[in-house]
Amino acid sequence: MSRTRVRYDAPVTDRPRRALRQPRSLTQEQLLDNLVTQPQAPTPVTAWVLWEDGVEEQVSGQAMAWTRRAVRVRFGVPPHVHEVWVWVGAVQRA
């Protein structure tokens, strides 16, 4: 039995790697509120995050700061750690 090496000139899959996607964050115009609370220690949360490709995903993370209307959430694992602002209704304490 002989072995044949196969060489692929094109990518094996047309799907982009999930790690290459970026989450969407609220804009400064959406935040409006200048009063930002920053806790001494991050608060564990789950949050709904919207990715640039339109996919919504619930993630486990930490609330790093918040206003009356929005929460800054950090999530992911190194080297793919993200920090985004999401609406307060998209976040629940874990």
pLDDT digits (tens, 9 = 90+) for 70-83: 999 999 998 889 99
The residues that bridge with 63 in the sheet, in sequence order, are: 43, 73
Per-residue pLDDT tens digits for 22-39: 999 999 889 987 799 999
**Count of other CB atoms within 10 angstroms of residue 28:** 8
Strand ranges inside the chain, DSSP E: 43-50, 56-66, 70-77, 80-87, 91-93
- Spell out the domains of the chain, with CATH numbers in brackets: 36-93 (2.30.30)
* Report field, pTM of the whole predicted structure over 0.85: no
